[in-house]
Structure 1
Amino acid sequence: MTKYTLLLLSMVLLAGCSKKSDNPAAPGTYYLRFKADGVQKEYKAHTLAQLYYDPENLSYHCNMTSSLKTAELGKDALSLFLLSKTAYKTGERYHLRNEIEMPKTNAIMPQVMISMFTESGKPYTAQFLPVTGLQFDDAAEVKFTEITDKYVRGTFSGLAFSMLPERAELKVTDGEFYLAVYK
């Protein structure tokens, strides 16, 4: 439960970190669009991507987030969190099921996680690695089609769930992102 809370808190904090001077395009140009259980969504507020190297854990991080409205950070928002042992590359697919070891904490993390708030504020995540004996069907996939120092572009999909014990399913399909890189 703590990991879940930290993931949601990270999403809200990251969404609140926006510097207009680092946005190379006009507001509303960047987006994160996808279908949630078949319903088209397009978020254009607080659009940003943050890519960096974590020397303590010998891993590359990419946090991407966007929301529908600036004033409602706990509603209509989606974030993608990625970890990799190598620099991100275009054309490569990154998957939740791939385990990334974090040496500083000895934790094993999924390579991709999704965190989403619906319009009512209900949280969903795809964050659990497969575990023998437990049925966690969480899934997430991200593919970069462009990576520059100004923006990232690509596709994503996943299968996210609400909090335990309910674990209601939410299918995320046809995801696309075009996000400014925050420096």
Structure 2
Amino acid sequence: MLNLFIAGCSKEDDNTNLKSEYYFRFKVDGNQVEYPFTPETQINLTGLLDYDERMQTYVMNVGGIENIFESMTNTLTIFVSDTQEILTGINYSNISGSSVTVPYFSFGMGYYDSEGNLYITGLNTVTELYETAIVNFFEITDTHISGTFSGTLIWYDFNGGTNVLVDSVVVSEGKFKVPRY
């Protein structure tokens, strides 16, 4: 199951340079969505790259949240975990194809819409549940992570022991530059 990482905390900071430097925007079914960075009240755009010694995997997690105090709505997270170092300029995807790299350990993208419905994608197992999603990291520095993303995310009802397709959304033109923590 998709592991959604949502880190946020209140922070008092009026640095307008940081506010204008960071962004998280994308389209959902053609409609523009943007989560502006609001460091004066919350840390709602986050990036994390770490190495998990126990699992021996590199872990990249990027998240954009409209309001951390309502994190089950208007949130998009990207999770990539691989045994190889996560690099810039690589199209990471959950489904193999030409010009993409499928992480060995995990790939996930999740989006909570304004109603709190969760649309997800992940690595397919024997039963193919998910559509293609792609993320490409352009910059990974000590201070920030930037890149692009897109994909078709699925809302399944997992209750009752079966996976029932409820809806899907197309996420396109996703771009982010988030602070790295």
| Alignment TM class, shorter chain as reference | 0.7 to 0.9
- What is the deviation of 1:135? 4.1
Q: Deviation digits for residues 71-123 of structure 1, max 9, x if unmatched? A: 321111100001122222211111112252xxxxxxxx43x210110011111
The reply on whether 1:171 has 2:170 as its aligned counterpart is yes
TM-aligned CA distance change 1:17 to 1:54, over 3 Å: farther
Q: Which residue of 2 aligns with 1:106?
A: none
Gaps (5+ residues) in structure 2?
A: 38-43, 96-101, 158-163
Q: Distance in 2 between matches of 1:54 and 1:25?
A: 33
After TM superposition, list the pairs within 5 Å mapping 1:70-109 onto structure 2. 70-97=68-95, 98=102, 100=104, 109=105
Give the number of aligned pairs.
162
**What is the Cα-based RMSD across aligned positions, in Å?**
2.3
Q: Deviation digits for residues 3-32 of structure 1, max 9, x if unmatched? A: 35xx2xx43xx23257678x9953354222
The reply on whether 1:61 has 2:24 as its aligned counterpart is no
Q: 1:162 is paired with a residue of what secondary structure? A: strand
The reply on whether 1:157 has 2:150 as its aligned counterpart is yes
The reply on whether 1:34 has 2:33 as its aligned counterpart is no
Q: 1:71 is paired with a residue of what secondary structure? A: helix
TM-score of the two chains, using structure 1 as the length reference: 0.78
The list of structure 1 runs, each at least 4 consecutive aligned residues, that deviate by more than 3 angstroms after superposition, is 17-21
Q: Distance in 1 between matches of 2:61 and 2:12?
A: 18
Report if the CA contact (8 A) 1:15-1:73 is conserved: no
Report if the CA contact (8 A) 1:130-1:137 is conserved: no
Question: What is the one-letter code of the residue matched to 2:179?
Answer: A
Q: Distance in 2 between matches of 1:88 and 1:78?
A: 20
Q: 1:26 is paired with a residue of what secondary structure? A: helix
TM-aligned CA distance change 1:135 to 1:82, over 3 Å: closer
Report if the CA contact (8 A) 2:122-2:130 is conserved: no
Q: Distance in 2 between matches of 1:53 and 1:20?
A: 30
Q: Distance in 2 between matches of 1:30 and 1:154?
A: 12
Q: 2:32 is paired with a residue of what secondary structure? A: strand
Report if the CA contact (8 A) 2:146-2:176 is conserved: yes
- What is the deviation of 1:48? 0.7
